[in-house]
Amino acid sequence: MTLATSVNKGDEFWCTHRRLPKPMLGVVIALTDQPGKLIGLEFKDNVKGHSCDGRGANGHCLWVAPEHILTPVEFKEREETLSVARAMKYKEFDKIEIK
């Protein structure tokens, strides 16, 4: 979920919605107060979505909630954290004592 305090048409956000195979950068093309249609994002690639009710290219858009977006800075920080976590090596043991 983004820590952004506002979202404007034309802003770029990374989308982490489960319908996408991986996070993708999209542009805000619509903002509504309709449940399930809060933020309309359009992506460069076809995401097998829709057109956000005719506002964007058909197949390139999704409606998402704020929980599914990250600013570019937030996304970069998240990726750096995940990269460090993946790089950490854990010591392996043949036996451990459990008390």
Q: What is the mean pLDDT of residues 20-30?
A: 96
Domain-wise residue ranges, the chain: 12-87
pLDDT of the residue at 77? 92
* Helix or strand (DSSP H, E) at 12: strand 12-15
Note the helical H segments in the chain.
Answer: 72-87
Evaluated on CA atoms 49, 5, 2, 10, the torsion sign reads positive
What is the pTM assigned to this prediction?
Answer: 0.79
Give 38-91 pLDDT, tens digit per residue.
899 999 999 999 999 999 999 999 999 999 999 999 999 988 888 877 777 666
The Cα–Cα gap between 52 and 60 comes to: 9
Amino acid at 78: R
Q: Are 29 and 42 in contact (CB under 8 A)?
A: yes
What one-character-per-residue DSSP string does 19-42 give?
TSSS-EEEEEEEEEEETTEEEEEE
